[in-house]
Structure 1
Amino acid sequence: MTADQSEYFRTPKPRPIIVPKLHHATFMTMDVDAMVRFYELVCGLQPVYYSDFAAWLTNDEANHRIALLKLPGTRPPVDKPHTAGLHHTAFEYETFDQWLDNYVRLRDAGLLPTICLDHGMTMSMYYADPDGNGVEIQVDNFRDWGLSKEWMWASQEFATDQIGAQFDPEKLVVARASGLTPDDIHTRAYAKEYFPAEPRLQMTFNDPWPARIAAEPSLADGVPLPPASQGD
């Protein structure tokens, strides 16, 4: 441990006196329409305001949870999977059945997760949006944030392995149909009984930008800047 490490690394559970709640995430994008379609399909986010250059989306009582900005000068990322920055945002279902039904719905719409992980406190499926950002769709294995938080804090399992076990979601669909309970399925998934035939080797998402730029070379120039104002 070094002096420049975060207070949150050095001190158990420090808390500000009054804490704000996470409200929304904002993404720079070069295709508002594609991003709106994706987040509406995957997370049920619908626009509160929608234009050619921006959109603010929500799926609950908040005025927005995701904001999308197509600002002049925005350029494609370079080697996105291997650069520092956002890895993913996450959305949570209340029940296991809702969560697994959502997988089936998206599968039938032609959208499959990039990687599926039982982290111990959650079971999570990770999708990639059109810009290559990750979106985690999860369900809490404890059905209680207090219990899952304490498991993360205190368990030897999480101290040893923060990633967990990969699983094949189709095997979960079969297991549920056979009558297994969510707890049974989680226990077996965490024990790697539903391990995929072709596991993902890296926890990164594929980079969509080389193919997008090859198909539309003008994307490499970025979002055009507004014309410079003319003086008298």
Structure 2
Amino acid sequence: MDRIRPSSFVHVVYRTHRFASMLDWYQKAFGARIQFQNETLAFLTYDEEHHRFAFANLDMFDPDAKEKNRTGLVGVDHVAYTFASLRDLLENWEQLRGMGIEPYWCLHHGITISLYYADPDANCMEFQVECYATPEEANAFMAGPGYAQNPIGVEFDPADWLACLRTGTPDTAFLVRQVHEPVSEIRFPAPT
């Protein structure tokens, strides 16, 4: 099988201690609008995509971190790439697995189904597939109660899903997140 590659670059996620200032700056600099925000996370876009930027408020994860080391964890958390279909995403997962490359987090966010990887320097990336056919549908989900209940996501086993797809289960059986619990714990790559 030929290598399966992403179809597009989609977003970047930042970790920050200056949550409000960052949101303000990106709204001004890009003409972006907030799609979803709570005290921990915010998602912004400047076009039809459900988000081009996301921000994680480090002060909510570790309130003392700001005083301990203002710059230690700030910066890019990950960049994201979209695949054309769930089948492509999971076939790519199997190809990478065969090369010894494993995701550290497999997550159904509700708006995307995502596999998180880290390179040898621990630069993180998200390989994803969109769950909704249109930006309007994705935006409606982000504005709804299921996303407010769980903006992080629910973990899944890519081996199980790929096996189902290969036996004829359509992609659509997995795309709409039916359950919003349990909320996944935030995962980071293991040091190599």
SS in 1 for 2:117: strand
From 84, 93, 104, the equivalent of 1:103 is 93
SS in 2 for 1:5: helix
Q: CA deviation at 1:134?
A: 1.0
Q: CA deviation at 1:85?
A: 2.0
**Which residue of the partner structure matches residue 145 of structure 2?**
156
- Give the distance between the partners of 1:8 and 1:205, measured in 2 at CA: 26
Deviations 1:35-62 (A, max 9, x none): xxxxxxxxxxxxxxxxxxxxxxxxxxxx
Q: CA RMSD in A?
A: 3.6
Deviations 1:64-98 (A, max 9, x none): xxxxxxxxxxxxxxxxxx72222111100122222
Does the aligned pair in 2 maintain the 1:166–1:192 contact within 8 Å?
Answer: no
Structure 2, unmatched stretches of 5+, are: 1-18, 33-44, 48-71
Does the aligned pair in 1 maintain the 2:117–2:126 contact within 8 Å?
Answer: yes
Cα pair distance change 1:101/1:7, threshold 3 Å? closer
- Give the distance between the partners of 1:7 and 1:130, measured in 2 at CA: 29
Does the aligned pair in 1 maintain the 2:149–2:180 contact within 8 Å?
Answer: no
SS in 1 for 2:76: coil
**Which residue of the partner structure matches residue 191 of structure 2?**
207
Structure with max Cα Rg: 1
1:5 aligns with 2:5: no
In the TM superposition, 1:118-129 aligns within 5 A as: 118-129=108-119
Tell me the matched-pair count: 136
Cα pair distance change 1:190/1:111, threshold 3 Å? farther
Cα pair distance change 1:20/1:175, threshold 3 Å? closer
TM-score by length of 1: 0.49
- Give the distance between the partners of 1:190 and 1:20, measured in 2 at CA: 28
TM-score by length of 2: 0.59
- Give the distance between the partners of 2:98 and 2:150, measured in 1 at CA: 33
**Which residue of the partner structure matches residue 173 of structure 1?**
162
SS in 2 for 1:86: strand
In the TM superposition, 1:134-149 aligns within 5 A as: 134-149=124-139
Does the aligned pair in 2 maintain the 1:175–1:185 contact within 8 Å?
Answer: no
- Give the distance between the partners of 1:159 and 1:192, measured in 2 at CA: 10
Does the aligned pair in 1 maintain the 2:150–2:180 contact within 8 Å?
Answer: no
1:113 aligns with 2:97: no
Corresponding letter in the other structure for 1:98: D
Does the aligned pair in 1 maintain the 2:153–2:180 contact within 8 Å?
Answer: no
Does the aligned pair in 2 maintain the 1:119–1:190 contact within 8 Å?
Answer: no
Does the aligned pair in 2 maintain the 1:94–1:143 contact within 8 Å?
Answer: no
Q: CA deviation at 1:8?
A: 5.0
State percent identity of aligned pairs. 27
Structure 1, unmatched stretches of 5+, are: 22-81, 209-232
1:191 aligns with 2:175: no
Q: CA deviation at 1:192?
A: 8.0
Does the aligned pair in 1 maintain the 2:132–2:175 contact within 8 Å?
Answer: no
Corresponding letter in the other structure for 2:110: G
Q: CA deviation at 1:157?
A: 0.8
